[in-house]
Amino acid sequence: MAIAKKSIALISALILLVGIAIYSSRNSPIVYQLLSTLSCPNSSLPVCNSVNAKTVQPTATGKNGAVVSTQKEASEIGLQILKDGGNAIDAAVAVGYALAVSDPCCGNLGGGGFMLIRLANGKETFINFRETAPLAASKDMYLDEAGNIVEGLSTKGYLAVGVPGTVKGLDYALTKYGTMTSERLIEPAIKLAKEGFVLQQGDVDIFEDGKKRLSESNVAEIFLKDAEVYQPEDILVQSDLANTLGLIAETGTDAFYQGEIAEKIVAASQENNGILSLEDFANYQVSEDEPVNCDYRGYRVISSPPPGGGTTVCQMLNILSGYDLKAMGWRTPVSLHHIFASMLLAFGDRNSFLGDPNFVDNPLDKLLSAEYTATLREKIAYQAIPPASVYNNIQPEGTNTTHYSVVDREGNAVAVTYTINSYFGAGVIAPGTGFLLNNEMDDFTSKVGEANQFGLRQGEANIIEPGKRPLSSMSPTIVTKDGGVFLVTGSPGGSTIPTTVLQIITNAIDYEMNLNDAVNTPRLHYQGFPDRILSEPKAITPETIRGLRLRGYNIVPFRTWGAAESILLNPKTGLLEGVNDVRKPAGKALAY
C-alpha cells in the first residue's frame, strides 16, 4: 500500500512537471520560478551561483600565458606549446587540431570559422576561413517545384556540405604569424587520435544529444559502441583521423585541398547526391581583413566583420553606450528593456543588410555611426519594440560551434570560433577520412523570409551563390584598455553568440563582475523572431518578469547555451585569468 502511494505521488509529480512545462509558454512568473528553482536550487541573484555551481572550476591564473577551450586535452596541448616557447598563434593552431580530435561534435577539420588576432605590437587582424558554397550551388537548390523548402536537404547529408576551410585557415595563420612548424603543432593531435582519450560525462552528454546524427554506418563505427553511446571513462580512438592528420602534417594543405583527402570527400559526395567537386577544393581561399571595432565606455572592442557577427555586437554596444546600465540596476525591467531593444535592433539590421562582403555591400560605416545609432535609440520607448517594425522579412542558428582563447607572455592574443554547424554537422564522414563534414549550407537563405533550422529568418543579402560564404553569428572578440589586452572571449551558440558576448562585456565593464561571474551568470537572449526572450534558469526574478510583461515581453525558460571560454588580464594584479564556461564541463582553463 505504501509503495502504491509513493508510485501515485511520483506519477502525479511527473504530470505536474509536464503541465508546468506546457504552461510555461504562457509566460507565468510563478511557472518560471518553479522551473528555474528546479534547475538551479538554493541560489541567489544576481549570479545564481552560476548556471551549474557543481561544475564551476577555479579561475586559472598566471603571468606568462593562458589557454581556455572546451576540452581539457586541447587546453593542455595549447599550454604546453606556450611553455615550449610558442606564441599565441602557435598554441591556437595546436588547439584547433586537438579539438578536431577531442571535440568531434563541434571542433573540426570538416568545417570552418574565424580567427581574431591582436599582436603585442598593436596590430589587429581577422582571418576568415568560413566555408564557401560549392560552384554547383544555386539559390533554389533546397526548394521543390512549388518553391517550398524541402525539409532536411540543407541539414543532413552531402548536399548540405559547404567547402571546408579550417585546414587552410590554420595553416594561413601559422605561416604568417606563428613561429613553429605545422608538424610540431599537429603531432599532439595525431597522438590523441591514435592513442585515444578518456571520455568525461560532458563528452557523453554531447554524444547522447547528437546520437541521431551518428546513424551512418561509418560514422557509428567511430562514435558509437554496439550502436550505443560511449560511457564515461571509455576511451575514444580515431585511427582514420590520425592518418588524415598525419597526411596534413607531412604534406601540408595540398593533402587536404588537392590530394587524397579532397578526392575521398568529393567521391563520397558524388556517390550520395552531393555537389562538391575537386575544383571547389582547389579554388578555396582564406581571406584576411580588418576587424570591426567600436568603443564602449573607454574600452575598445574588436570583433569579426561580415560575414561574422561582430557588427551585431558593436551595434548593441553602441546603442547601450547611451544609457547608464549600472545606474539602471542589475537586470531590472528598465535595464533589460534597453538591452533587449538593442538586441532586436541589431538583429533587424543583420537580417536586412549583412552578408559575404565579396558579394554584398555591407554598409558598416552607416550601421556603426553615431548618427545612425542615435536614430535607433529614438525607437526605444516604454513598450517593447514590435519585431515586425524592425525586420524587412517576417517569418537560434547552429549551436554546435567551438570557441577558444589564448594569450601568451608577450601579450599576443587570439580568439578562435569555428564550427560544423549542427551537432556532428551533416552526419557524414567520407570513408577513410575520420572527420565529420559540416552542414553550413543551412546558414544561407534558402528562401527569403523563411527560418533556417534554428529559427533565424534570413534576408536577400545572404542568398545562396556559388563561392559565397554564409552569414554567421560567430563573434570572436578581444577588448582592449589603454592599448593593452583586457578581455578575450567568444562563444558557440548560433544566433545567441552576439548576445552572449554582449552580456560578458557588460557584466565585466558595467557591473564590474569578476570573470568567473561574468562568464557563468545565467544568460538571456532575444532576436525578435521568434518573439520571445529565452532565459536560462534563474536569470531573472519573478518580479522582473512581471515588469517586463508590462512592457510587452514574453519570457520563456530555456536550457543553457554557449561556452564562452574567456581570458581577462586583471588590471589590479597584472595576472591573466582564464575561465572555463560551466556549460561545457569537459573544458578547461589553464594558465602559468
Q: What's the rounded Cα separation, in Å, for the pair 24 and 300?
A: 40
401 is catalytic: yes
Dump pLDDT digits (tens) for 147-204.
Answer: 998 989 999 999 999 999 999 999 999 999 999 999 999 999 999 999 999 999 999 9
Placement of cell 603543432 in the chain: 185
Dump pLDDT digits (tens) for 189-247.
Answer: 999 999 999 999 999 999 998 898 898 999 999 999 989 999 999 999 999 999 999 99
Which of 166, 401, 445, 496 does the annotation list as catalytic? 401
Dump pLDDT digits (tens) for 422-432.
Answer: 889 999 999 99
The partner residues of 429 in beta bridges, in order of sequence, read none
| Pick from 10, 38, 8: nearest CA to 24 | 38
Residue 545's Cα: distance from chain center in Å? 27
Q: What is the pLDDT of residue 284?
A: 98
Instruction: State the pTM of this model.
Output: 0.91
Dump pLDDT digits (tens) for 99-134.
Answer: 999 999 998 999 999 999 999 999 999 999 999 999
Q: What's the rounded Cα separation, in Å, for the pair 145 and 381?
A: 45
Identify whether the C-beta of residue 277 lies closer than 8 Å to the C-beta of residue 136: yes
Largest CA-CA distance found in the chain, in angstroms, rounded: 76
Q: What's the rounded Cα separation, in Å, for the pair 302 and 481?
A: 11
Burial of 377 from C-beta contacts in 10 A (0-12 / 13-18 / 19+): middle
Give how far Cα 359 sits from Cα of 99, 104, 111, 116, 362, Å.
31, 31, 21, 22, 9
